[in-house]
Amino acid sequence: MKFKSLFLLVFLAINISVFAYEPGQIKIGAVDNPNDFQFVVMGDRHGGEQKGVFDDIVVKVNTLCPAFVLNVGDNIAGYSTDANAIQKMWDIYDESLKKLNVPYLKVAGNHDITNEIEAKIYEQRFGSAYYFSIYKNVLFLFVNTDDPTAEIDPKVQQELNKEKQALKEMAKTQGVTPQGLIKLQQYEEKHRNLDGAKITDAQFEFFKKVLADNNNVRWTFVIMHKPVWKQTSPPANWVKLEELLKTRPYTVFAGHEHVNSYASRNNRDYIVMSTCGGVMPKGLNGVYHHLLLVNVNGSQPTISNLMADGIVAKNKIPVNDINNLDVKKLVEEYTGTAKK
């Protein structure tokens, strides 16, 4: 018996020494593809600004290390014909962007180019309000949906003025009636379309050529301020541009509404951003400061919606709300004394 026990101990000792591993280096088999990249999409800074929010989000974007940032417009308060005041707004904006470590590409919003004076200053500082870019064989179209030089049909304007006057007379003579409310709703819808997105013929011809010259790109991203596809009567030039896009894989980003929403059109993603500092409507779903993190890899981009409040510094630990915790119950469950 003693011999068998001794033999077993020797056998175990030999096997332990055989199968014991020395600590060493484990190689990381990371998949590094030079064609992969990620970028961030940011929403409206203005349209009513919440001070400090945009600057805070810029710092948070740096921690994500994107290749670049796209912005969907409304960068300044605008709505001014005072050239000095407009220049000062852009100076403040430029100062905020000095904190960003990567390129920042934007479109113009209605606050940025409300009138021809603002449009001229924008062009002097940043160049054309519509343009394109290509990065790692991915095409980016930056569409100007607020061109103040776009012509408005004078006949449509005259018809609207007549309808408005007729509604006023109806309200005076008949008061509030179901028929009057229906006519008011119809008028407001027409007025909304008139004041909606404007895309010039020159802009359409420009993008038509860009698409024709770059028909073999991996993906196309379209960035604009106003979500033109949501209008009951979208600009004719957008309808034509969207028709050209149908033959390729693409994604559309917009802003303006300050409410995050998603739609699928032509089996493609159409996303409206909420805000990155702009005022937020109350009581609506999709209202928050946020970012989109877009990863371009493989056959289709992946898009993640990141809440700005969910990105915090390493030394700022989020605090849980303990006001509603039942401490006694937690202790009983932990110690095993809870009543069954």
Residue position matching structure tokens 């790692």:
136
CB 158 within 8 A of CB 120: no
Residue 106 has pLDDT above 90, yes or no: yes
CB 255 within 8 A of CB 219: no
67 or 8: which carries more pLDDT confidence?
Answer: 67
Distance from C-alpha of 112 to C-alpha of 118, rounded to nearest angstrom: 7
For the chain, the average pLDDT equals: 87
- What pLDDT does residue 95 have? 96
Distance from C-alpha of 176 to C-alpha of 125, rounded to nearest angstrom: 50
Structure tokens at 68: 């670049």
Distance from C-alpha of 55 to C-alpha of 277, rounded to nearest angstrom: 8
Q: Which amino acid, one-letter code, is at 248?
A: R
Residue position matching structure tokens 């961030």:
40
Distance from C-alpha of 328 to C-alpha of 334, rounded to nearest angstrom: 10
Model confidence at 122, in pLDDT bands (50, 70, 90)? very high
Residue 48 burial by Cβ neighbours in a 10 Å radius (0-12, 13-18, 19+): middle
Predicted confidence (pLDDT) per residue in 243-272, tens digit: 999 999 999 999 999 999 999 999 999 999
Nearest Cα neighbor of 271 from 238, 219, 218, 224 is: 224
Distance from C-alpha of 138 to C-alpha of 198, rounded to nearest angstrom: 26
Predicted confidence (pLDDT) per residue in 260-304, tens digit: 999 999 999 999 999 999 998 887 899 999 999 999 998 789 999
In sequence order, what E strands does 177-300 have? 219-223, 250-254, 261-265, 268-272, 290-296
Model confidence at 152, in pLDDT bands (50, 70, 90)? low
Residue position matching structure tokens 């970012």:
291
CB 232 within 8 A of CB 260: no
